[in-house]
Amino acid sequence: MSTKGPQVTVTVQRGGPEGPGRKQQFQVPAYGSQTVLDVVSWIQQNADPTLTYRFACRVGMCGSCAMMVNGVPRWTCRTHVSKVLQDGAMELAPLRSLPVIKDLAADMDPFFDKWVSAEALHHPTASRDDPIAPIDPDAPERVTASAGIECINCAVCYAACDTVANNPDYLGPAALQRAWTLYNDSRDGAHGAILDAVTGTGGCQSCHSMGSCTAYCPNGLDPLSAIAGLKRAATRRFFGKGKG
Amino acid sequence: MKAIPRAHPLWLAYILHRLSGLGLALFLPAHFYVLSLALTDTARLDAFLRLTDYPLVKLAEFGLVFLLAVHFFGGLRLMALEWLPWSAAQKTWAAASLAGAFLISTTFLLRAI
C-alpha cells in the first residue's frame, strides 16, 4: 500500500477488558469523503489485522460502529474524517461507560440489559390471529411515540451521558426513551409496568437534564425530552391522574 | 482518552445550577450566624455591617445575588423543562435564564455603587 500523498495520523486505544491499554499510532492515507470507519477498516486490512472493531451496515442504520472519536461519541460510518480531524490527527477509543471486549469493540450487554430493566420491550395486547389495530398517525400520543422510534441502539447517548458515567444503576437515555415510546404506544399493554420500571433505582428521576444525549444523538432524536415525559407521567400517576 | 466536550448550553446550564446551589449552601450558615448576632451581640453585628461599605464586599454581594438569580432562574428553567412538554425551546430557555440572572444581578450592582 502506498504511503505517498496526504496522511492522517490516527491514535487507537488498544487492549481488552483488563482496562485501557496502550495507544498505537498509525499513518493512514487520506482521501476524499473518507469516513472514520473507512480509516479503521484501512488499519485493520493494511496495517494491523489484529485490530478489533465492530460494524455491519456502513450506512447509519444498524448502530454497530459507534466509538469515541477525539473524545466525542460518534457513529463512525457517517462521520467524515475531514469534519473531525484536529491538526491532521484523530484519536479513537471504544465507547465510554461500557466494558471493552477488545480494542474498539465495546461490550453492549449492560446497555441492552438496561433496556430490559426499563421494560423497554413490547408488551403485546393482541395476537397474530387478531385483526390489525388501526393506528392514527396524527393522534397526539402516536406523534409523541413516533418522535423517538428511529433510535438505532448505537449507544452514543449512553456514552455521552455523565449520569451514566457516574451512576452504574442509571438506565440511560436510550432505554428510557424506548420506554417512553412504548408508554405512548396504544398497542402496548403494560404502561403501568413501564412506569414502575422507570421510576425505580436508576430510573428517569436520576437524570440531571444535562442534555448530552440530545446534543450527541446522531439521528437527531431527543431522549432528554422523552425522559422529562416519563418524569411527568410518573408524577401524574403519583397524584392519581394519568394512566398506568 | 480525551474528555467529552461538554460546552453545549444545556450542560453549561446544568453545571451553573449545581455550582450556584453549592455556593448558596455554603453561604447560608454564615448568613444565619451573622443574623444571630442581632440577638446575641449587636455591637459585633454593627461592626460587621460596616464591612459592607468596602468595594470588595460590595463586589462579593454582587456575586451572591448573581448566584441567587442564576439558581432561581435555573430552577425555573428546569421546572419548565420537566413539567411542561416543551421540547424545542430548551436551549432558548437556558440562555434566557442566564440573561435574566445577569439582568437582576447587574441591576443590583448598579444600585449598590
Q: Residue B20 pLDDT > 90, yes or no?
A: yes
Same domain, A114 and A225: yes
Residue after which a domain boundary falls, among A72, A106, A140: A106
Domain boundary among A106, A122, A157: A106
**Domain assignment of residue A43, yes or no:** yes
pLDDT exceeds 60 at position B87: no
More confident residue, B80 or A143: A143
Cβ(A103)–Cβ(A51) below 8 Å = yes
Please compute Rg for chain A using Cα positions.
20
Q: Classify residue A240 as exposed, middle or buried by CB count within 10 Å of its CB (0-12, 13-18, 19+).
A: exposed
Selected residue of A212, A221, A222, A235 to mutate for chain B interface (largest B Cβ count, 10 A): A212
Q: What are phi and psi of A66, to 5 degrees?
A: -65, 140
Query: Where are chain B's structural domains?
Result: 9-23+53-112
**pLDDT score recorded for residue B88:** 64
A86 versus B91: which is more confidently predicted? A86
Per-residue tens of pLDDT for chain A, all 244 residues: 555 789 999 999 999 888 777 999 999 999 999 999 999 999 999 999 999 999 999 999 999 999 999 999 999 999 999 999 999 899 999 999 999 999 999 999 999 999 999 999 999 999 999 998 899 999 999 999 999 999 999 999 999 999 999 999 999 999 999 999 999 999 999 999 999 999 999 999 999 999 999 999 999 999 999 999 999 999 999 998 877 6
The pLDDT value recorded for residue B1 is 53
**A118 lies in the same domain as A218:** yes
pTM of the model: 0.86
Query: What per-residue confidence (pLDDT) applies to B86?
Result: 62
Mark yes or no for CB contact B1/A208 under 8 Å.
Answer: no
Whether residue A2 lies inside any domain: the answer is no
CB pairs under 8 A between A and B: 64
A119 in the same domain as A40:
no
Q: What is the pLDDT of residue B6?
A: 80
Mean per-residue pLDDT, B83-89:
68
Provide the domain limits for residue A63.
7-106
**Phi, psi (degrees; rounded to nearest 5) at B43:** -65, -45
- B6 — contact with chain A (CB < 8 Å)? yes
Contacts of B83 in chain A (CB under 8 A): 232, 235
- Mean pLDDT across chain B, nearest whole number? 86
The b-or-e profile of B88-107 (16+ CB within 10 A means b, else e) is eebeebbeebbebbeebbee
From CA A234, how far away is CA A224, in angstroms rounded?
15
Query: Cβ contacts of residue A154 below 8 Å, gap of 6+?
Result: A63, A64, A65, A66, A75, A218
Q: Among the residues of B1-113, which ranges form H helices?
A: 9-40, 42-50, 55-83, 90-112
pLDDT of residue A145: 96
CATH number, residue A184: 1.10.1060.10
B14 Cβ neighbours under 8 A, 6+ residues apart = A208, A209, A210, A211
Q: How many CB atoms lie within 10 A of CB A81?
A: 22
Q: What distance in Å separates the CA atoms of residue A67 and residue A64, rounded to the nearest whole number?
A: 9
Instruction: Note whether residue A221 is domain-resident.
Output: yes
Instruction: Flag if B87 and A222 touch (Cβ within 8 Å).
Output: yes
Which of A61, A89, A106 is at the close of a domain? A106
Q: How confident is the model at residue B83 (pLDDT cuts 50, 70, 90)?
A: confident
Residue A38 lies in a domain: yes
Q: Looking up cell 469493540, which residue turns up?
A: A105
Buried b (16+ CB within 10 A) or exposed e, A98-116: bebbbbbbbebebbeebbe
Residues 6+ apart with CB under 8 A from A208: A162, A163, B14
- Percent residues over pLDDT 90 in chain B: 40
Q: Is residue A185 part of a domain?
A: yes
- pLDDT at site A101: 95
- Please list the residues that pair with A226 across neighbouring strands: none
User: Residue type at A44?
Assistant: Q
Task: Say whether both A14 and A119 belong to one domain.
Answer: no
B3 touching A (Cβ < 8 Å)? yes
Q: Read off the CATH number of the domain in which A70 is found.
A: 3.10.20.30
- Evaluate whether A80 touches A38 at the Cβ level (below 8 Å): no
Measured CA to CA, the distance from residue A94 to residue A21 in angstroms comes to: 11
Do residues A184 and A145 lie in contact, with contact meaning Cβ atoms separated by under 8 Å? yes
Q: Is the pLDDT of residue B105 over 90?
A: no
Q: Is B7 part of the contact surface with chain A (CB cutoff 8 Å)? A: no
Is A1 inside a domain boundary? Answer: no
**Residue with more model confidence, B1 or B81:** B81
How many distinct structural domains can be found in chain A? 2
